[in-house]
C-alpha cells in the first residue's frame, strides 16, 4: 500500500495495539447524536472503521463492502465508520450509499490520534476490532476496500 503525505498511517503504540484496552471516546454520529464507546461495549464486539473521506471512490467501495456484508456483520458486531468529515457530509454519504451502520465525525482528529491513525488531511484506512471486554482484539491495517467485510468477519 502506498502512503500519501498528509494521510494517516497506523502508528502502533501503547493504547492502540492488540491486547490493549481501547481508548474511550465520544463522537457525534451522522444525525448529531453522541456515541460513547464505553456504552457500546459489553454484549458484542465493536468494530471501528477509520477511513479517509466520505464519498471518495475507495472509501465508498470500502463502506459498500461493509453494507453488502451487513447481515452477517450485524449478527456478530456493532460497526462504526469514523472520518474527519462533518456530520452533514456523513449524513449525505450514509443516505446516498444506503449504509446501515452509524458514521462518526472526528473533525478535530482527537479519536484518530488516540488510535494512532491521524494524518493532516485524513485518517489512515485502519479497522480496530474491540471485544466486549474493551480490549483491542485485532487491527486491520492492510484494508482491501472491496473485500473489507470479509476481512472484518475473519478478524471477528
The grid cell for 142 is 492492510
Q: Does 59 qualify as catalytic in the annotation?
A: yes
Q: Which residues contact 113 (CB under 8 A, 6 or more apart)?
A: none
- By C-alpha distance, which of 50, 53, 59 is closest to 113? 50
Considering only CA atoms, which of 27, 109, 67, 12 is closest in space to residue 59? 67
Beta 78-83 vs 136-140: how paired, if at all? unpaired
Separation between Cα atoms, residue 90 and residue 45, nearest integer Å: 23
Selected catalytic residue, list 37, 41, 54, 59: 59
The DSSP-derived string for 114-150 is HTT---SSB--SEEEEE-TTSBEEEEE-S--GGGHHH
Catalytically active residues, by annotation: 59
Amino acid at each position: 500500500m502506498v502512503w500519501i503525505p498528509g494521510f494517516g498511517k497506523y502508528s502502533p503504540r501503547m493504547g492502540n495495539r492488540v491486547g490493549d484496552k481501547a481508548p474511550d471516546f465520544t463522537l457525534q454520529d451522522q444525525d448529531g447524536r453522541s456515541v460513547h464507546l464505553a456504552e457500546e461495549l459489553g454484549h458484542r464486539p465493536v468494530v471501528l472503521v477509520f477511513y479517509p473521506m466520505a464519498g471518495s471512490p475507495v472509501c465508498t467501495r470500502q463502506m459498500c463492502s461493509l453494507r453488502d456484508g451487513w447481515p452477517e456483520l450485524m449478527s456478530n458486531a456493532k460497526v462504526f465508520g469514523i472520518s474527519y468529515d462533518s456530520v452533514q457530509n456523513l449524513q449525505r454519504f450514509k443516505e446516498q450509499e444506503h449504509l446501515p451502520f452509524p458514521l462518526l465525525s472526528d473533525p478535530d482528529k482527537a479519536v484518530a490520534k488516540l488510535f494512532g491513525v491521524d494524518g493532516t488531511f485524513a485518517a489512515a484506512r485502519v479497522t480496530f476490532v474491540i471485544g466486549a471486554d474493551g480490549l483491542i482484539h485485532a487491527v486491520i491495517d492492510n484494508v482491501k476496500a472491496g473485500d473489507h467485510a470479509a476481512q472484518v468477519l475473519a478478524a471477528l
